[in-house]
Amino acid sequence: MTLMQAGAVAPLPPPDAVVFDFGGVLFNWQPVVLLQQVMPDHARNAEEALALAHTVFQSFMPDGDWAAFDRGTAEWDEVRGLIARRTGLPEADLDRLMHAIPPHLAPLADTVAWLERLAAAGTRLHFLSNMPAPYAAFLQREHAFLKHFRSGVFSCDVKQIKPNADIFHTAIEAFGVAPSRTVFIDDNVHNIRTALELGWRAVRFEHAAQAEADLKARGWL
C-alpha cells in the first residue's frame, strides 16, 4: 500500500506568487528602538518604550489614530494632533518621531538578497503593506529593488488595512492569483491568521533564512 493509498495528503504545488509585507520583513521596523532614540525623555528604557509604542501606535487597533494614517484617511497634521490630544505628548515630539520613521525603515539586507534571488529565479512577486502615504512614496522613490515586484497594495492607496479581511480581498483581485496559489510572508501573527482564514498560504516571518527555509521545507520554492 502506498502512502497516497493510506490516506496521506499530497503536498501542495509551488505557489504562483509570493507576497511580502514591508515593515519588519523587507524593511526595518523596531518602534521600541526608534522611540528610545527619538523620545529618550519619554522612553528611558525598553519597558517604557514598549508601553509608549503601544500608546502612540495603538498596536492591533485597526480603528486607531495611527491606523487612520496607515489607511490614508488622516493626513500628517491631523494624526499628529489626534495622538497629541489622546496621549498628552507634545506635538513637536510627535512631529520629530514621524519625520524619523522614513530613515528608520532601512532595508533588511538578508531579505533584500532573498528577494533578488527569487526575482532571478522568475518568481512572481507582489507586496501587501500597511503604510502611510508619505512613507510609501519615500520607499518607492529611494529603493530600486522594489522594481522586482510585479505589483503591490499599500493600505493608504485602497483605504483598507491589515489585519482586516477586505484588504486581502482587494490584493487578490489586484494580483490576479487565487488565494490558495499565493504564499504571504508577514511578521504579524494577526495578519497571518487572517490570510490563513481566507485560504491563503502563509509563513510568519522571523528572519529571512527562517522564512526561506520554511517555504523550501513545504515544497513551496
What lies within 8 Å, CB to CB, of 38 at 6+ separation is 93, 96, 97, 100
Helix (H) or strand (E) holding 20: strand 17-20
What's the grid cell of residue 34? Answer: 526608534
pLDDT band at 10 (very low <50, low <70, confident <90, very high): low
Torsion of CA 106, 18, 162, 55, to 10 degrees: -30
> Using CA atoms, how far apart are residues 137 and 134, in angstroms rounded to an integer?
5
What tens digit of pLDDT does each residue of 138-178 get?
999 999 999 999 999 999 999 999 999 999 999 999 999 99
pLDDT band at 56 (very low <50, low <70, confident <90, very high): very high
What pLDDT shows up at residue 197? 98
What's the pTM?
0.92
Question: Rg of the chain's alpha carbons, rounded to an integer?
Answer: 19
> Using CA atoms, how far apart are residues 58 and 210, in angstroms rounded to an integer?
28
Question: Looking at the predicted structure, is the pLDDT value of residue 51 above 80?
Answer: yes
| Average pLDDT value for residue range 193-216 | 97
